[in-house]
A and B are shown apart, each in its own frame.
Chain A
Amino acid sequence: MTVIATSRAATLLWVVLPYVAITTFVVGHVWRYRRDQFTWTTRSTQLLEARWLKIGGPLFHIGLLAVIGGHVIGILIPKAWTDSLGISENTYRIFSATMGTLAGVATLAGLAILIARRLLNHRIAATTRGWDVTVMVLLGFMVLTGMWNTSIHNLIQGGYDYRETVSPWFRGLFLLDPNASLMSGAAVPLSYQLHAIGGWLLILIWPFTRLVHAWSVPFAYLRRPPIVYRSRAPLDVRRGAGGVTSSSPTESSVHVQS
């Protein structure tokens, strides 16, 4: 393989793929939100099977939230910052490997339960669509490669400092300073590369799958009035007024848009 070919492949994988994924992610979400909110849902299967979901669902979701938190620390926060706080690479690695393993095990166990019930329970199987399978396969792949990186690499094989390569490459993408060479085969272990590619594929398909429900966490619920009223026509029109004259806050408090 020539140097040029390698660098072309690298550009494709570590620059083009991320930007294509990010673009699709953004445009896809806008498109879907505007065109097709009817399918924007968790597509919960709890009605069809509750016993295992009550274990698998929370285990997977909470584990995943912890995993995402770990990625924020490991990828978005530059190594220089933790260094300046006096956290040594070894301390960081042990912390990240332990916490990452815990979170990963929870996620993996939850996902395994969810996949198993989807395969074994005929009712759930009947509702499974192509995208569900794609998402499950991809998520499984991500969790497995991620666990490999965190647990096997870091705890058993002595570790790999991804904060020297993967993290700056990732941040560089968003600073419009992409550097494909940081992710070259010589520098980064294969499992890290696969994990990164899998991640971009997940971002790429995200807006077209049930994963969109992640953006619908209803925090606004905590602050809205309990009973929501909506009108077929605004109050001033029903009152027969030609134009709007005034509006009192007590009346408006019953109008809520989610």
Chain B
Amino acid sequence: MRVMAQVGMVMNLDKCIGCHTCSVTCKNVWTNRKGAEYMWFNDVETKPGVGYPKRWEDQEQWKGGWELDRRGKLRLKSGSRLRRLASLFANPDLPELDDYYEPWTYEYSSLISSGPKKHQPVARPVSRVTGDDLDLTWGPNWEDDLAGGTKQVRLDPNLREGVENKVRAEYESVFMMYLPRICEHCLNPACVAACPSGAMYKREEDGIVLVDQEKCRGWRMCVSACPYKKVYFNWQTGKAEKCTLCYPRIEAGMPTICSETCVGRIRYLGIVLYDADRVEAAAATPDEQGLLDAQLDVFLDPNDPAVRTQARRDGIPEDWLDAAVRSPVWKLAMDWRIALPLHPEYRTMPMVWYIPPLSPVMSLVEGVGGDGNPVADPDDVFPAIDDLRIPIQYLANMLTAGDEDVVRGVLKRLAAMRAHMRRANLGEEPDPRIAAQVGMNATSIEDMYRLCAIAKYDDRYVIPPAHREVADTLTERQGGCGLDFAGGPGSCGAATDTAEGDIDLVTLAERGGGLSITQVNGNSTGGSA
């Protein structure tokens, strides 16, 4: 067992109103630059819909994520390392700018510089890449609130898998939800494994996946390998960029900017401890529907004394262990099991999870009721959840590799929570049957309500600050001679690189402090991911 800590996120889709505040604040902080105009480290998609970039979920087209080879071994869907090296000159799976959209602005100056005219001057859209006039035919959130119509909806890859034509038609008129997306900061990141330069890495302390802007050489394999299409290529700098999980804020114990500014309070951030030694085996689980359980199995219980002991041995600070116990991510994903990973079948072990929305189901039930009476009684809702093929099937295609029972279980818990709290709010006798039906009790269901509905700032974000003091020690050590340890190199700064180009820990201690610190700094001075 090797205990590692990971900052994870959960988004409660039941509460997302699709306002795009997260996207806008993220953009203003991170991608409001030349070459990055088309990038949205955070975007909010209306589902069903093709998303951004178009049809990103269709891995037969984009070859993102991992798959099992014939012997059941994990490998990137884009093929072997040799194949990627062979396609350095032209990546066969790379999305083009038009798959995202051509960024534009408006020629506002024409509004004030125009001479006297019969007609009012207009600000024409111009491309932010070429400066040419642009006929707008696609853009970010082109299909916001199903604006793309049935034509776009039909292109959603989640609808293709197992959802028949006739239910599709019905569906479009009754079902819609929002899906905010950021980088998943996966435990088994395909982008990192695909990077030929070794410029992409996962931070040991908090699991944040970053691009070293100094080391990136622009081979762009990460862009195609990420099944979520959350690594972008900056056409101006020629380097890859991605969501940084706002690491400067996380290090200071603050939530990411998308979380901080979320008006619906849908986002949760917290620490999850996991066993790094078991990640690979879990990601290679043969049955796609077993991947959710496999990933849950990799997570470690921070209350378990054995885990805590090993975690201390593996260098996880005490306050991080405490934060792991209070982690909302742990509670939502492990305690109550109402958060689910996005597309676990990509085998990247994503760490941004989602509470599926109950509202579309409720609106269906209430819509069918017809008389406008809200039906909050689980006696009515539970059979509906059992009977509804959609949107359950759709949600299952997105969150559980098609396992509808898991989605039904989560939705029933959410419905039970509503029913339980409704009685409490109306001053009725609590009905223990409601909680028992979903395997919970009054206390746990009220805890769940507090975290989901009240969602206090300090409950949503349990982020222990990074331990800068250990990095500071290194600064002091710089220039010192580290001969006073067993097996040390014969002279100051002598490297003992192994054949693989790995650096052993002795070397890291010697010059690695400088290495890691300057590289993390390099990241921030590089101005981006």
Contact = CB atoms under 8 A, between A and B. Distances in A.
Contact of A48 (B129, B470, B526): B129
B242 to A, nearest CB: 14
B90 to A, nearest CB: 4
Given A41-B217, A123-B130, A222-B81, A230 B235 contact: no
Contact of A256 (B203, B233, B484, B501): B501
A15 to B, nearest CB: 35
Interface string A240-258: 1001111101011111111
A49 to B, nearest CB: 8
A258 B218 contact: no
Contacts of B202: 227-230
A130 interface: no
Interface string B477-508: 00000101111100000000111111111101
Nearest to A252: B504
Interface stretch (A56-64, A78-86, A98-106, A141-149): A56-64
Contacts of A217: 88
B485 A244 contact: yes
B516 A231 contact: yes
Given A62-B89, A122-B130, A220-B198, A232 B205 contact: yes
Nearest to A231: B204
Contacts of B213: 38
B114 interface: no
Nearest to A258: B198
Contacts of B517: 232-233
A57 B470 contact: no
Interface in A218-237: 218-237
A238 B467 contact: yes
A258 B197 contact: yes
Interface string B107-131: 0000000000000000000000111
B315 interface: yes
B290 interface: no
A234 B97 contact: no
Given A38-B526, A221-B198, A123 B129 contact: yes
Interface stretch (B19-27, B186-194, B258-266, B382-390): B186-194
A239 B69 CA distance: 38
Q: Which of B92, B189, B213, B509 has the most CB of A within 10 A?
A: B509
A53 interface: yes
Given A47-B97, A126-B131, A233-B516, A218 B90 contact: no
B343 interface: no
Contact of B130 (A126, A216, A253): A126
A71 interface: no
A207 to B, nearest CB: 15
Contact of B218 (A42, A53, A240): A42
A220 B81 CA distance: 11
A127 interface: yes
Nearest to A54: B90
A8 interface: no
A210 B81 CA distance: 24
B94 interface: yes
Contact of A38 (B84, B237, B467, B487): B237
A226 B499 CA distance: 16
A88 interface: no
A230 B519 contact: yes
Given A50-B90, A220-B501, A252-B502, A243 B484 contact: yes
A41 B239 contact: yes
A46 B224 CA distance: 12
Contact of B204 (A43, A48, A61, A230): A230
A156 B244 CA distance: 60
A125 interface: yes
Interface string A31-50: 00000011111111111111
B347 interface: no
B412 to A, nearest CB: 37
B352 interface: no
Contacts of A123: 97, 129-130, 235
Contacts of A233: 205, 467, 470-471, 473-474, 513, 516-517
A127 B504 CA distance: 41
B430 interface: no
B248 to A, nearest CB: 12
Given A42-B219, A127-B235, A244-B488, A221 B196 contact: yes
Most buried by A among B96, B212, B484: B96
A247 B505 contact: yes
B405 interface: no
A239 to B, nearest CB: 4
B314 to A, nearest CB: 8
Contacts of A47: 94-97, 220, 233, 235
A43 B238 contact: yes
B132 interface: yes
A245 B485 contact: yes
Contact of B505 (A39, A126, A244): A244
Interface in A3-39: 37-39
A255 B512 contact: yes
Contacts of B442: none
Interface in B213-260: 213-220, 233, 235-239
B89 A57 contact: yes
A247 B214 CA distance: 28
Contacts of A127: 235-236
B130 A42 contact: no
A72 B429 CA distance: 90
Given A54-B90, A234-B513, A48 B235 contact: yes
* B466, B471, B486, B502 interface centre (most CB from chain A within 10 Å): B502
B515 interface: yes
Given A50-B90, A245-B486, A257-B198, A218 B526 contact: no
A222 B500 CA distance: 9
7 contacts: A47-B233, A50-B90, A218-B196, A220-B198, A234-B474, A244-B506, A253-B502
Interface of B: 81-82, 84-85, 88-92, 94-97, 129-132, 188-189, 192-193, 195-205, 212-220, 233, 235-239, 313-315, 317, 466-467, 470-471, 473-474, 482, 484-488, 497-506, 508-509, 512-513, 515-517, 519-520, 522, 526
Given A50-B96, A232-B520, A240-B470, 12 more contacts: A38-B214, A41-B218, A126-B129, A220-B501, A222-B85, A238-B467, A244-B488, A247-B504, A253-B500, A254-B204, A257-B515, A258-B199
